[in-house]
Structure 1
Amino acid sequence: MTGLTTFLPFLRGTLLGLKLGVRQRHVLPDSHRIVEASLARAHVQCFSLRACRASKASDASTVCVESSGRSLEWLASKTPIRSYASSADAMNATVSSSKQSQVLKELEKVLGSPLDTQPQAPPPNPLVVVISGPSGVGKDAVIKRLQEIRNEIHFVVTATTRPKRPGEVEGVDYYFMSKPEFLDLIARNELIEHALVYGDYKGVPKKQVRECMSTGQDVLLRLDIQGAATVRKLFGQEAVFIFLVAESEVALVERLVERKTESIDKLLVRVATAREEVKHINEFDYVVVNADGQLERTVSHLCSIIDAEKARVQQRHAQF
């Protein structure tokens, strides 16, 4: 049975390609008899099989199938194939479009209804993706690279009441607004989450998320542990939560030290905070290791997660 299964593609290709006269394909020598028997059962008596040459690279040999002109015409009249090409690894056949159309019509007639041309998979729902992780793990670099290769994803821009710094761009780095404007958003419940940081407010406006999702666009939020918890309360299991970690605690501390931007006291606070944040890892759907020097691998992993979410049968459906 194994040999017959192996040679069904060979036999089919041979019969369909008779217009070219001679076909050849690498096969195992001890299976020649299977091909001969199959051709005999198909009442093709005018064919001969012969081993043309042995292959030095393997135990395979090349089998040539030859036919007379009369049998060639008879079998060619029984197939819609116009041309045929075979090799040791693959075979391709081109079926005439008119014959294909005729087959489709016959199938529809038997089925009693036309064949559906609509996609069999519904379009995926827009995703709300939350990326979190301890300070120093490289969230900004990962998200920036992700934006470069997946520009269809909208990175949600945070609103803030602090003054604009040199080089910052409105709507790219932050949405800059006055405190009365920000407090009005809070009063109207128009912020996904917000916090008071060093005397200034920061928050994520619902409007831009709502507008993107209405057009089917995925949205990406970079949040700390508290912000991710707030979004989880809002969306529940309908959002995708991804936690970034370093390959080890030592590696994370080394990155923080390399920044040379903080005193020992502040560094101790960050490390202690990171230890507490990692304890929340079980609250997330996925954990991705952002190893030092492996940015492309990390981003590729994130893309795989997003693609897998898009292929779910039971889609997430985040909405306000």
Structure 2
Amino acid sequence: MAVDQNSEEKTALKRRGLMFILSSPSGAGKTTIARKLLAADDEINLSVSATTRPMRPGEVDGKDYHFVEQPHFDAMVEDHAFLEWAHVFGHSYGTPKAQIWNGMKEGRDFLFDIDWQGTQQLNQRASEDVVPVFILPPSIDELRRRLIARGTDAPKVIEARMERARAEISHWSEYRYVVVNDDVESCFAKVREILHAERMRRERQTGLVSFVRELMAGPPPGA
């Protein structure tokens, strides 16, 4: 039987947006999963962070990051302009809060590629709107292999990332969901399932109360 698309649109309930967090040690695959999610789902937007690190080849200011100088970043911290911020590998990163709050009110979802420190800060400020997902590598040896294969870091930097990875992995239990990335497509499928389920939570359906009231106020059966 054919589905009436107009009917589906009429019964779509308004909802509040969510903050979907992907965290993992460097090299565990969160950036790959994030890109696949953004390409496959039109309802989620990348949260664009401000950073003091230099722009890399191919990056676009305002799309990949808001690239700012350290004094500007420090001023934003003083003005409480960030939802979360952290200092990582000699550079500062932070999420401007105005764009997130306004978008969520309109029912838009935001994807965050942040570490456990940023996740803790978001949980403290808006735990009901946060969906934290931690991605684990299948093994430490595989993580090291992936970092070496990228060919972007010197051996000393790779060792520093491995040391930090162990520290980050120790925070796995602070996340609502944990997924092992032993296969990219399988991991991606699980992450999408989590996102779809969280969107349907009763607490996020802001139009549900009025919808149910209309159902209950309708004519009695047989009328």
* TM-score, normalised with respect to structure 1: 0.56
Residues 244 and 288, structure 1, Cα contact 8 Å, conserved in 2: yes
Runs of 4+ in 1 over 6 A off after TM superposition: none
Q: 2:197 corresponds to which residue?
A: 308
> Paired residue for 1:187, among 78, 81, 97?
78
Alignment deviations for residues 57-85 of structure 1 (CA, whole Å, 9 cap, x no partner) = xxxxxxxxxxxxxxxxxxxxxxxxxxxxx
Distance 1:238 1:274, change over 3 A: same
3-state secondary structure, aligned to 1:124: coil
Distance 1:123 1:316, change over 3 A: closer
1:131 shift after superposition = 0.9
Q: 2:31 corresponds to which residue?
A: 140
3-state secondary structure, aligned to 1:227: helix
- Unpaired stretches in structure 2, ≥5 consecutive residues: 2-9, 207-223
* TM-score, normalised with respect to structure 2: 0.78
Count of matched residue positions in the alignment of Structure 1 and Structure 2: 198
In the alignment, structure 1 residue 231 sits paired with structure 2 residue 128:
no
Q: 1:254 corresponds to which residue?
A: 145
Larger Rg: 1
Residues 52 and 92, structure 2, Cα contact 8 Å, conserved in 1: yes
CA distance in 1, matches of 2:58, 2:50: 17
CA distance in 2, matches of 1:281, 1:200: 24
Percent of pairs with identical residues? 34
Q: 1:153 corresponds to which residue?
A: 44
1:228 shift after superposition = 1.3
CA distance in 1, matches of 2:130, 2:18: 7
Residues 127 and 316, structure 1, Cα contact 8 Å, conserved in 2: no
Residues 239 and 316, structure 1, Cα contact 8 Å, conserved in 2: no
Q: Which has the higher contact order (CA 8 A, sep 6+)?
A: 2
1:227 shift after superposition = 1.4
1:223 shift after superposition = 0.5
CA distance in 2, matches of 1:224, 1:137: 12
1:314 shift after superposition = 3.6
- Which deviates more from structure 2 when the two are superposed, residues 248-257 or residues 148-157? 248-257
Residues 154 and 212, structure 1, Cα contact 8 Å, conserved in 2: no
Report the aligned-residue RMSD: 2.5
Q: 1:6 corresponds to which residue?
A: none
Q: 1:271 corresponds to which residue?
A: 162
- Unpaired stretches in structure 1, ≥5 consecutive residues: 1-91, 93-117
